[in-house]
Amino acid sequence: MKTFLCQKTRSLRFVIPFFLVFIAACSTVQPPATLVTQAQERVRQAESVGADDAAPLVLREAQQHLSEAERAMQKEQFEEARLLLEKSLINSELAIAQTNASNAKKAAEEIEKNLDLLRREATPNSQSNSYSYE
């Protein structure tokens, strides 16, 4: 292709921009295979950390975007697939982040409860003190 263009215009200065434009155009229609793998892995990761419980809606979006992307891939609508995969990925990320936050919050709440209990037991206002005034 390059040699063909070279022969035609006989000038490299014109050839290079054309070539770049061609590459750019081509790359968008390449099947985003890596992205598919990534999106699949992320959905699996989100499921494994328990996003099903903590962020079910966001996880479902990630799953739906992924299956839509896979369908688009079969129809060779690669640009469409790429956008869907990006959406799936970001939703998986969000599901994981929300699950982590929810787990941390649960732990923090339990800690607060325990500390509160301890504080109540340790303060003199409670009846549990064992002073005797005999």
Partner 1 sequence: MRNLLAALITTPAILLAGCATTPEENSRISTLQQEIDNLNSTPDGKQYAPIAVQEAQESLDKLKNLSEDGVSDEKYEHQLYLTERQIEIARANVSQKQAEATVGSAELRRKDILLQAERQESARARSLAASMAGRAQELEQQVSDLQTEDTERGLVLTLGSVLFETNKATLHTGSQRTVEKVAEFLNQYPERKILIEGFTDSRGSDDYNQQLSEDRAQAVRELLVTSGVDAQRVQVEGYGEEYPVASNDNSAGRQQNRRVEIVISKENGADVSDRTTMVDEQ
- Using CB atoms within 10 Å of the CB of residue 99, give its burial: 0 to 12 exposed, 13 to 18 middle, 19+ buried: buried
At 35, the amino acid letter reads L
Least distance to partner 1, CB of residue 72, Å: 14
C-alpha to C-alpha distances, 90 to 36, 48, 60, 133, nearest whole angstrom: 13, 17, 12, 67
Shorter beta-carbon distance to partner 1: residue 63 or 91: 91
Shorter beta-carbon distance to partner 1: residue 6 or 93: 93
Shorter beta-carbon distance to partner 1: residue 17 or 124: 124
Least distance to partner 1, CB of residue 7, Å: 35
- How many helices (H) does the chain have, and how many strands (E)? 6, 0
At 59, the amino acid letter reads L
- The site for partner 1 (CB under 8 A) is made up of 83, 86-87, 90-91, 93-94, 97-98, 100-101, 104-105, 107-108, 111-112, 114-115, 118-119, 122-124, 131
CB atoms closer than 10 angstroms to residue 59: 25
The HSE-up count of residue 39 (CA atoms within 13 Å, CB side) is 26
Least distance to partner 1, CB of residue 107, Å: 5
Least distance to partner 1, CB of residue 118, Å: 5
Shorter beta-carbon distance to partner 1: residue 15 or 91: 91
